[in-house]
């Protein structure tokens, strides 16, 4: 696998010398507003950041003097930490705020909070909120760049971008004719929603799979390139798949009656060895985390050769560095 | 490009051969020599220098590439896309020759020096350029120059290379042209 990676890096650097697209948006709120050229720009920039991270000192001073604030109204381990590491690797100052312990507890409104952060000197605000659309509201009321770090069941653009980056490093940039299965609680998944856009833009055949109660049929679509279909039969979905991405299943879903039992869910939707055997040889297994090991993915597969789950986390830093860099550079231009 | 080039393919090839000889002579051979091309056009130039050295010395000198986007001091240049740097050998204690197509203000070279130290601590760093057009803003001077072209500040120099642009030519324009 390592060889494949190096080869692709060499190709990326040697091959194209096209004039670069410029980054224009103030914010990154979802992937659905990104053009294929912008996605390509993020991917190429992330490839350069990935190289920076492999150096003995994986740090540069490019964003020296910029302040990145993480504003998290919902819990998070990897996304917040990943953004913090990414910002620091670019030399930015980082301020971390959580809803608990801040003036949010005293009833400060979201709009007041982001205005305050801007007044303090935040250039970029990375925000996670339980309400879908909250970062859009915030972005309208601040001159700072807003990055959506996950809003409700709506979007999680940097996760989708790091997933795409991870897939490209193994399969290449053209996903035409490639089958990507996203299995689990699609209905409540911001990860799935953001992924559908980027994967279709890359030409992939996306298959969304899950119990009928957790599977919104409205996501089925056919784009200029790529397509998105839905099915509740994982055995059918996984046949000849190039990528199998499992989503986190929340235990509360069972209480709401959306799944009969965890045991039932595992029987129908766990990514395990016998199912993976139906996928294409060398198929990748992914998970955005946090993973309920033994539920969404069997333990042997989660830690097996097909799994790129840890690599996703590592790549997340490079991709977030790319996004921070492009937004900050766009602000300076 | 319709205008007559200032330098054509034969002159560029001759300059590269001479630069290759000078680099080897200055280094008293090829021991410890590493060529590092500044992306975009410094990299194919470094590869050509290495090919020339291979021809007359029979030795393959390692060639690296350096993206300096993260080290620029002119923020407006920043959103140009970045590419991964790659230096195939440890540069500690080596003689690194930075290769670029044009030296102008010296700011690109300053950024390249910053980028280079993130990879290690060379014993010496030298600078080879195809064209020196003058007008330095920093105390930096090239060690190996293909061609000195005196220019006015309002003029611009464009080096086009086969690997990148489909032709070998150096153009001198009378007004500033946006650089790719």
Per-residue CA distances from A243 to A206, A280, A286 (Å): 10, 9, 7
Sheet (strand B33-38) strand order: B63-66, B33-38, B95-103, B124-132, B144-148
Q: Does residue B162 belong to the interface with chain A, where contact is any CB pair within 8 Å?
A: no
pLDDT above 60 for A78: yes
Distance from CA of A157 to the nearest CA of B (A): 20
Mean pLDDT across the stretch A221-246?
A: 94
Each residue's pLDDT tens digit, A31-58: 999 999 999 999 999 999 999 999 988 9
pLDDT of A222: 84
pLDDT above 80 for A281: yes
Residues of A in Cβ contact (< 8 Å) with B70: 48, 52, 60, 62, 90, 325
Mean pLDDT across the stretch A95-117?
A: 83
User: Do B86 and A9 make contact, defined as CB atoms within 8 angstroms?
Assistant: yes
B107 within a domain of the structure (yes/no): yes
Residue of chain B minimizing CA distance to A51:
B84
Domains in chain A (CATH in brackets) are: 15-156+314-332 (3.40.50.1370), 157-309 (3.40.50.1370)
Which of A13, A21, A62 lies at the smallest CB-CB distance from B83?
A13
Preferred mutation among A329, A330, A331 to probe B, highest tally of B CBs within 10 A: A329
Distance from CA of B84 to the nearest CA of A (A): 4
pLDDT of B75: 61
State the pTM of this model.
0.89
B3 within a domain of the structure (yes/no): no
pLDDT of A8: 36
ipTM: 0.84
Average pLDDT, chain A: 90
The CATH number assigned to the domain holding B33 equals: 3.40.50.2020
Distance from CA of A169 to the nearest CA of B (A): 14
Please enumerate in sequence order all residues whose Cβ is within 8 A of that of A56, keeping only pairs 6 or more positions apart, or say none. none
Number of residue pairs across A and B with CB atoms under 8 Å?
69
Each residue's pLDDT tens digit, B129-145: 999 999 999 999 999 99
pLDDT of A50: 97
Parent domain of B118: 9-173
Mean pLDDT across the stretch B53-68?
A: 96
Whether the Cβ atoms of residue A278 and residue A238 lie closer than 8 Å to each other: yes
B152 within a domain of the structure (yes/no): yes
B1 within a domain of the structure (yes/no): no
pLDDT of A77: 83
B2 within a domain of the structure (yes/no): no
User: How far is Cα A54 from Cα A233, in angstroms, rounded to an integer?
Assistant: 41
Residue of chain A minimizing CA distance to B76:
A333
Whether the Cβ atoms of residue B91 and residue B33 lie closer than 8 Å to each other: no
- pLDDT bucket at B2, cuts 50 / 70 / 90: low
Residues 15-54 on B with a CB inside 8 Å of A are 39-40
User: How far is Cα A158 from Cα A173, in angstroms, rounded to an integer?
Assistant: 17
pLDDT above 90 for A75: no
B4 within a domain of the structure (yes/no): no
B178 within a domain of the structure (yes/no): no
Domains contained in chain B, number: 1
Residue of chain B minimizing CA distance to A55:
B119
């Amino acid at each position: 696998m390592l060889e494949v990676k190096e080869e692709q890096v060499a190709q990326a650097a040697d091959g194209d010398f096209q004039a670069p697209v410029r980054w224009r948006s103030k914010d990154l709120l979802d992937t659905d507003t990104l053009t294929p050229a912008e996605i390509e720009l993020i991917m190429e920039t992330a490839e350069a950041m990935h190289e920076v991270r492999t150096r003995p000192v994986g740090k540069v001073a490019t964003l020296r003097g910029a302040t990145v604030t993480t504003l998290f109204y919902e819990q998070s381990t990897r996304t917040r930490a990943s953004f913090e590491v990414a910002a620091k690797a670019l030399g930015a100052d980082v301020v971390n705020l959580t809803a608990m312990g801040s003036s949010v507890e005293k009833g400060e409104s979201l709009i007041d909070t982001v205005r305050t952060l801007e007044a303090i000197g935040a250039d970029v605000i990375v925000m996670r909120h339980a309400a879908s659309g909250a970062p859009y509201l915030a972005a309208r009321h601040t001159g700072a760049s807003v990055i959506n770090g996950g809003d409700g069941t709506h979007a999680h653009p940097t996760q989708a971008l790091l997933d795409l980056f991870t897939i490209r490093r193994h399969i290449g940039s053209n996903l035409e004719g490639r089958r990507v299965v996203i299995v689990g609680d699609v209905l409540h998944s911001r990860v799935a929603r953001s992924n559908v856009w980027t994967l279709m833009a890359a030409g992939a055949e996306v298959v969304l799979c899950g119990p009928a109660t957790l599977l919104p049929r409205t996501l089925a679509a056919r784009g200029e390139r790529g397509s998105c279909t839905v099915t509740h039969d994982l055995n059918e979905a996984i046949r000849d798949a190039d990528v199998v991405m499992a989503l986190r299943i929340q235990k509360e879903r069972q209480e709401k009656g959306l799944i009969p039992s965890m045991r039932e869910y595992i029987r129908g939707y766990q990514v395990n060895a016998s199912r993976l055997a139906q996928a294409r040889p060398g198929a990748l297994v992914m998970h955005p985390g946090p993973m309920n090991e033994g539920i969404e993915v069997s333990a042997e597969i989660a830690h097996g050769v097909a799994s790129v789950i840890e690599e996703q986390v590592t790549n997340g830093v490079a991709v977030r560095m790319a996004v921070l860099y492009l937004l900050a550079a766009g602000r300076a231009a | 490009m319709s205008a007559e080039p200032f330098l054509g393919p034969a002159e560029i090839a001759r300059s590269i051969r001479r630069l290759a000889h000078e680099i080897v002579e200055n280094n008293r051979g090829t021991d410890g020599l590493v060529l590092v091309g500044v992306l975009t056009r410094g990299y194919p130039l470094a590869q050509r220098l290495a090919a020339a050295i291979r021809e007359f010395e029979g030795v393959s000198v390692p060639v690296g590439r350096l993206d300096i986007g993260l080290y620029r001091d002119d923020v407006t240049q920043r959103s140009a896309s970045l590419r991964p740097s790659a230096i195939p050998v440890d540069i500690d204690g080596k003689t690194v020759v930075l290769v670029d197509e044009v030296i102008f203000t010296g700011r690109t070279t300053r950024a390249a020096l910053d980028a280079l130290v993130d990879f290690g601590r060379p014993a010496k760093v030298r600078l080879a350029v195809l064209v020196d057009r003058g007008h330095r803003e920093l105390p930096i001077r090239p060690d190996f120059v293909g061609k000195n072209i005196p220019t006015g500040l309002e003029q611009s120099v464009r080096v086009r290379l086969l690997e990148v642009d489909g032709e070998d030519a150096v153009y001198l324009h009378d007004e500033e042209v946006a650089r790719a």
